[in-house]
Structure 1
Amino acid sequence: MTQVLLVEDDDVIREATQLALERAGFRVSTAADGLAGLDRFRAQPPDVALLDVMLPGLNGVSLCRRIREESRVPVLMVSARDDSVDVVLGLEAGADDYVTKPFDTSVLIARIQAVLRRSGWSGPEEDAFVRFGDLEIDRAGLDVRRAGQPVDLTPTELRLLLRFAESPGTVLSRDTLLASVWDYAWGGDTRVVDVHVQRLRVKIGQERLQTVRGFGYKLRAEP
């Protein structure tokens, strides 16, 4: 599981964000101020750090600089202010991305995944080979088999399946899938997700991808 360090001084935002990240399959450690965040970072190095800009003790920009002195771990800055000066300061301090409050948690999750991909940060090792019933996925070899037979997937269908396989049993919204599979900056129609999910279902089994009405889709570990 990807380890996230969340440093946020607002109790409500911190708890809500932590819950959303954990539901998406992340493991989350938290701190309520910059100094505590630095201590937590050193004690339990994360795979990605999510830092509020306005923190007591040590502000988010300074915390980002301290982290950058010790690690190349991806860092996202979060702030209620979208002033260009704040954005520039955060990026110059070594942040990889910037998110403005209030944010949709599905978009935040997609931004975290995107920055992890762009940075090349490997994080914890994942099993290269996973199985869901009669569906077998070789992540390293990009090979998919169903009941022992090869499944011919397009590149987009393969990326979509791999995204589902990252969080089996977790409901992923259309916006999350659009952002993480098609790139979060692409302002496309979410119906493209539905089309590709239907095509993928034909190839891996209708029962494998479940529709959660009003929310999105999830990969069922067992049919």
Structure 2
Amino acid sequence: MTKILIVDDEHMILEVLEAYFEKEGWQIFLAKNGVEALKKIKENAPDIVILDLMLPDISGEEVCRLTRKESDVPILMLTAKSAEEDLINGIVIGADDYVTKPFSPREVVIRAKAILRRVKKIGIANKLSFNHGDMNIDLAKKVVDIGGNSVILTPIEYKLLVGMASYPGRVYSRADLLDKVQEGGAYVEGYERSVDTHIKNLRKKVEADSRHPVYVLTVFGMGYKFGGTPDAFDTTF
């Protein structure tokens, strides 16, 4: 059974979304503030979190940041903020998608299902393929090829590439990427800026023209993101 945590301080919103997701047969957990949300994320390990930005104790943005330090659980943000900068910031700190208030409960259900389908495909895929087969990543063998040619990457470069390619379009700060390459005890010398050097070396290996990258893109003032367009996932590779 799919588990979902809905976080909002408005009782009516909790009640309505709970009713809609109950119809889908999901197991539902509710939280009315940030502290309660963080506790329930740890205790119940939901498959997805619907998170309001305006909470009475700590902000939804902070809940998202703290969650991302320990978990990749998909997060769908609910926000009354419609300014482009605010919405981009939500994606930068780790949200997978957002819905602006007022919203249709049915739209929230559809977006939550779409996020979980995407995550499930990534989880079961043995191969990631992008730009009509130009880039292929064999996750089992840890092999990358570009245009049919194998590319030799260092362990750190490989982790950076797979980390970003698993969520195309998501913006990662240097700190986010540093956390990814340090998983499992991998060592990264220096500070967050050392990520820039690894990104530069990665681009030289995977881009036809590193000055005009297609896959490893800089988001100025924010960090980096993967720009490849996913092909159909191959689960039999």
CA distance in 1, matches of 2:24, 2:120: 21
CA RMSD of aligned residues (A): 1.6
Q: TM-score, normalised by structure 2?
A: 0.50
Secondary structure at the aligned position of 1:70 is classed as coil
The residue number in structure 2 matching 1:15 is: 15
Secondary structure at the aligned position of 1:51 is classed as strand
Matches for 1:33-48 after TM superposition, within 5 Å: 33-48=33-48
The residue number in structure 2 matching 1:112 is: 112
Any unmatched runs of 5+ in structure 2? Answer: 124-237
Contact 1:47 1:121 in 2 (8 A): no
Secondary structure at the aligned position of 1:4 is classed as strand
The residue number in structure 1 matching 2:63 is: 63
CA distance 1:5–1:46, shift in 2 (3 Å): same
> What count of residue pairs does the alignment treat as equivalent?
123
Residue 39 of structure 1 deviates from its aligned partner by 0.7
CA distance 1:21–1:96, shift in 2 (3 Å): same
CA distance in 2, matches of 1:122, 1:105: 26
CA distance in 1, matches of 2:87, 2:57: 20
Secondary structure at the aligned position of 2:46 is classed as coil
Identity among equivalent pairs (%): 39
| Letter paired with 1:32 | K
| Letter paired with 1:26 | W
CA distance in 1, matches of 2:13, 2:122: 28
CA distance 1:74–1:86, shift in 2 (3 Å): same
The residue number in structure 1 matching 2:72 is: 72
CA distance in 2, matches of 1:95, 1:119: 13
For 1:115-168, what per-residue CA distance to the aligned partner results, in whole angstroms no more than 9, with x for missing partners?
Answer: 112223789xxxxxxxxxxxxxxxxxxxxxxxxxxxxxxxxxxxxxxxxxxxxx
CA distance 1:121–1:9, shift in 2 (3 Å): farther
Matches for 1:1-223 after TM superposition, within 5 Å: 1-120=1-120
Contact 2:4 2:47 in 1 (8 A): yes
Contact 1:74 1:121 in 2 (8 A): no
Contact 2:16 2:105 in 1 (8 A): no
For 1:181-221, what per-residue CA distance to the aligned partner results, in whole angstroms no more than 9, with x for missing partners?
Answer: xxxxxxxxxxxxxxxxxxxxxxxxxxxxxxxxxxxxxxxxx
Any unmatched runs of 5+ in structure 1? Answer: 124-223
CA distance in 2, matches of 1:14, 1:86: 23
CA distance in 2, matches of 1:10, 1:122: 33
Q: TM-score, normalised by structure 1?
A: 0.53
CA distance in 2, matches of 1:5, 1:44: 9
CA distance in 2, matches of 1:122, 1:22: 26
Secondary structure at the aligned position of 2:51 is classed as strand
Contact 1:9 1:33 in 2 (8 A): yes
The residue number in structure 2 matching 1:211 is: none
